[in-house]
């Protein structure tokens, strides 16, 4: 008697293989992010964020006890990690890598759930995951202790919840979207316009009788999400307004006489990036395709929402002078969704799997080229010998002048006013500076020259000559490109 043989349909086998490839893509992106985060991932400014976390662990409060020119939620999150794992950068980096993967999965999930052609969803999901997870900005700045990773996760959550709220006409989901968007802004105000765009879109999508309730629900959620910033604002309004608003308006450009040329160069660097060309080109193609398609109007409006989010966020962060390329990371997931539609528009007539593989390969090659070019840059391992030297010549409670990263890794609390290096360029009278926990550069220079610090560390050659550190201290050691001075002469 012949046995029954069950043979899978070729299409079913192909579909299963594509699903496995998608999950393998997620796993590969996470592995790459984790490896990068634990090796060469580094940004000089993250020392400020990690030191803020250490200060919080020691009972100090942002704004009230030290100057903090950022929204505070990510600092509290890093503080929780420092409390659990000690003053190491590795735990915040690993957490950031996982958060970034969460943003990748959520962005991809939108394509898997909402792209109008189900048979294309998993293929396009792989492309979306690559567009976000292998994006240079996302990869480099979504794996460090600055707020970009957590902000991206919350921003994409707010978008997904808003789309779901409009589809189901749910006020509960609207509130949750507002909470996620508000929390993203409580990580960094670079994401602030998202809440406004989502509000306009949700009100436009709502029925005429539900527009007021929809607006109220989203606004209430955003206020709740902004709680970590609004509570300090109510308690210490003068300090919070100065740190979060006043500094950026009146002092951000100090010592940046050529900020306009810096920004001009930044705005034209995309001409050298294949990744940017691919993402923006396919994003524009996707927007044109969606506009001309016969898709359901609700789905088309969601893609239009992505276009508005990308455009408004990019325009907003471009107004920060000087601005920096990592600020534009907040727009990447929304451009990626449009670019995925553009990719479909170009290759939909091709039955060749390699048509998508070429796009993914180009994106991956762009990332690889950038990482290779920057492989010799400074990273956290470069501080090990420096911190060891500082600790060996500085008694436990002796006053230390140092960079934020050295304070953090050595576990030392800086003297008041030294919590943030960039705060020294705030030039104001001491009677105004002290309540804001600011130490102007002139006052810091006076203290250094008066031998107020048992040990002084700096990574700037210009500081050594300008302050005459060789005359103030009897001992000096150069560690890599930094200097440690001790043994005060008087």
Q: Which pLDDT belongs to residue 259?
A: 66
Q: Which pLDDT belongs to residue 375?
A: 79
End-to-end CA distance of the chain: 103
Q: Rounded to whole angstroms, what are the CA distances from 38 to 24, 51, 183, 371?
A: 21, 19, 26, 14
Q: Which residues pair with 456 in a beta bridge?
A: 401, 485
Q: Are 187 and 151 in contact (CB under 8 A)?
A: yes
Token pair for 334: 């929304």
Q: Are 310 and 363 in contact (CB under 8 A)?
A: no
Q: Which pLDDT belongs to residue 10?
A: 52
Residue 344, CA atoms < 13 Å, CB-side half-sphere: 25
Tell if the pTM clears 0.95, that is, is over it. no
Instruction: Please state, in angstroms and rounded to a whole number, the distance separating the CA atoms of residues 184 and 418.
Output: 28
The number of angstroms, rounded, from the C-alpha of 372 to the middle of its chain's C-alpha atoms is 21
Q: Which pLDDT belongs to residue 351?
A: 60
Instruction: Please state, in angstroms and rounded to a whole number, the distance separating the CA atoms of residues 156 and 334.
Output: 8
Q: Which residue has the tokens 């968007």?
A: 181
Token pair for 17: 């293989």
Instruction: Please state, in angstroms and rounded to a whole number, the distance separating the CA atoms of residues 139 and 96.
Output: 10
Q: Rounded to whole angstroms, what are the CA distances from 36 to 142, 143, 376, 456?
A: 10, 7, 14, 31
Q: Which residue has the tokens 């500085």?
A: 394
Q: Residue 314: how many CB atoms within 10 A of its CB?
A: 17
The number of angstroms, rounded, from the C-alpha of 292 to the middle of its chain's C-alpha atoms is 34
Q: Are 389 and 476 in contact (CB under 8 A)?
A: no
Q: Are 404 and 45 in contact (CB under 8 A)?
A: no
Q: Give the DSSP letter string of 212-254.
A: HHHHHHHHHHHHHHTHHHHHHHHHSHHHHHIIIIIIIIIITTT
Per-residue tens of pLDDT for the chain, all 490 residues: 445 444 454 556 667 888 899 999 999 999 999 999 999 999 989 999 999 999 999 999 999 999 999 999 999 999 999 999 999 999 999 999 999 999 999 999 999 999 999 889 999 999 999 999 999 999 999 999 999 999 999 999 999 999 999 999 999 999 999 999 999 999 999 999 999 999 999 999 998 779 999 999 999 999 999 999 999 999 999 999 999 999 998 888 766 666 667 667 766 676 567 898 899 999 999 999 999 999 999 999 999 999 999 999 999 999 887 888 899 999 999 999 999 999 999 988 766 667 788 999 999 999 999 898 887 888 999 999 999 999 999 999 999 999 999 999 999 999 999 999 989 989 999 999 999 999 999 999 999 999 999 999 999 888 999 999 999 999 999 998 899 999 998 7
């Amino acid at each position: 008697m012949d046995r029954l043989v069950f043979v899978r349909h070729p299409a079913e086998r192909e579909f299963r293989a594509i699903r496995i490839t998608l999950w393998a893509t997620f796993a590969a992106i996470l592995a790459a992010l984790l490896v990068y985060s634990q090796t060469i991932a580094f940004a000089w400014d993250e020392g400020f964020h990690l030191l803020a976390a250490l200060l919080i662990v020691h009972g100090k409060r942002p704004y009230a006890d030290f100057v903090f020119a950022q929204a505070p939620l990510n600092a509290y999150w890093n503080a929780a990690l420092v409390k659990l794992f000690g003053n190491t950068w590795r735990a915040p980096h690993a957490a950031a890598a996982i958060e970034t993967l969460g943003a990748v999965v959520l962005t991809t999930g939108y394509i898997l759930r909402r792209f109008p052609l189900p048979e294309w969803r998993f293929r396009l999901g792989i492309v979306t995951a690559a567009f976000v997870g292998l994006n240079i900005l996302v990869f480099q700045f979504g794996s460090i202790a600055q707020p970009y990773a957590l902000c991206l996760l919350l921003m994409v959550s707010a978008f997904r919840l808003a789309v779901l709220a409009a589809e189901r006409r749910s006020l509960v989901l609207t509130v949750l979207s507002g909470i996620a968007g508000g929390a993203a802004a409580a990580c960094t105000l670079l994401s602030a316009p998202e809440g406004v765009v989502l509000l306009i879109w949700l009100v436009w999508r709502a029925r005429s009788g539900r527009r007021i309730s929809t607006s109220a629900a989203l606004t209430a959620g955003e206020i709740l999400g902004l709680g970590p910033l609004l509570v300090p604002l109510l308690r210490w309004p003068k300090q919070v307004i100065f740190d979060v608003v006043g500094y950026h308006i009146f002092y951000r450009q100090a010592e940046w006489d050529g900020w306009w040329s810096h920004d001009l160069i930044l705005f034209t660097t995309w001409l050298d990036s294949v990744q940017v060309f691919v993402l923006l080109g396919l994003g524009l193609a996707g927007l044109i395709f969606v506009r001309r398609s016969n898709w359901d109007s609700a789905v088309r409006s969601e893609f239009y929402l992505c276009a508005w989010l990308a455009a408004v966020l990019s325009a907003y962060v471009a107004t920060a002078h000087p601005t920096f390329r990592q600020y534009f990371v907040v727009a990447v997931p929304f451009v990626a969704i449009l670019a995925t539609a553009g990719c479909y528009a170009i290759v939909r007539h091709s039955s060749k799997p390699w048509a998508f593989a070429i796009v993914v390969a180009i994106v991956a090659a762009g990332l690889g080229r950038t990482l290779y070019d920057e492989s010799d840059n400074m990273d956290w391992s470069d501080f090990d010998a420096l911190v060891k030297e500082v600790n060996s010549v500085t008694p436990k409670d002796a006053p230390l002048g140092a960079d934020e990263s050295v304070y953090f890794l050595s576990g030392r609390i800086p003297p008041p006013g030294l919590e943030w290096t960039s705060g020294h360029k705030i030039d104001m009278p001491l009677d105004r500076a002290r309540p804001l926990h600011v130490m102007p550069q002139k006052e810091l220079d006076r203290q250094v020259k008066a031998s107020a610090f048992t040990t002084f560390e700096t990574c700037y050659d210009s500081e050594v000559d300008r302050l005459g550190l060789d005359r103030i201290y009897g001992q000096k050691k150069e560690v890599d490109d930094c200097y440690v001075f001790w043994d005060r002469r008087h």
